[in-house]
Amino acid sequence: MDKLKFTPSALTGSRGGLHIAQILMCVVTFIVCWIWGFPSHTYWIYGMVIWGVCPLLTLFITIVEMFLIHKIILVFCMDWDDFTTGMVMMSSLCTFSCTVIFANFYICWKCIWGWMVTILSGVCCVLYCVEMFRDKCDSARSATYVAVLPGFMKILEAFVGCIILISLIGYVGKPALLWCIVAYAIPLPLTILIIITNIMTKLKNCLPCSIDRFVIVFLVISVLLYISAAILWPIYSFRGNPRPKDCPGNSCIWSIQFVVTFMTYVNLGLYVIDLIFTCCGICGFKRS
């Protein structure tokens, strides 16, 4: 067993340099966005959370690799390469979503702060994407779940589910839309639980039942829930509610409801594809 020791190459190498750049850019983006300030906006809060959590995850991974802790402890319960690739995939998606959201809702000709935050967020996204492609092209790194298609599908499903939940608006007093919120909320934590279980190999082997059978049941339920939401949300959100002529991005309820509708169909498509691939046992998806 390797001993705990300091490895400067974790900081001086190209991977370490990328990590340092990611941390610095996320912190700078966080500070600029905090100085600008839109505390009452859900998307602003989402961006602040992403630019705060992503550098913390990167710092954690850097420290673990710097002291070779992953070779002493984490190797016994998880595939470290798969875990780190999965985290950089999620960070890439989250920073990309922040860039798109701020470009769509907070940019105007005179919005200097909005332009600054969007550009900085775009740089963060590029840095994480560079590391993601490096990891995917590195044949020496293992890929057991998150770094391959089945796990990446689950990451996409969880990511889109988060975007939907932070975008929910205009549902007060409408029971049909409240049901949609339930339909959105149920699959998300279960998707995250499936990802964690598959990463934690020791935990997966200790389960009394097959996780693959549970996944199929979960996917069927998720598809049914999203079908109901895909029918009810647009009907009860847009019936008698045409798009206003004056619809500013950061305060127009209609445009945010459209985001929910669009993402609902995206996630429905992802869950349907996931279910078909799992039932057919193709592209690395397991079936029981």
pTM, two decimal places: 0.86
Q: Percent of the chain scored above 70 by pLDDT?
A: 84
Residue type at 273? I
Mean pLDDT (the chain) is: 84
Distance CA 116, CA 103 (A): 10
For the chain, domain boundaries: 1-144, 148-288
Q: Percent of the chain scored above 90 by pLDDT?
A: 43
- The structure tokens listed for 34 are 């905090």
- Exposure of 25 in the CB half-sphere (CA atoms within 13 A): 23
Confidence of residue 148 (pLDDT cuts 50, 70, 90): confident
| Average pLDDT of span 113-140 | 89
- Please tell me the predicted confidence (pLDDT) of residue 49: 94
Confidence of residue 245 (pLDDT cuts 50, 70, 90): confident
119-129 confidence digits (pLDDT tens): 999 999 999 99
Distance CA 51, CA 125 (A): 11
Distance CA 248, CA 230 (A): 25
Contacts of 286 (CB under 8 A, 6+ apart): 150, 212, 215, 278
Distance CA 186, CA 169 (A): 18
67-77 confidence digits (pLDDT tens): 766 666 665 56
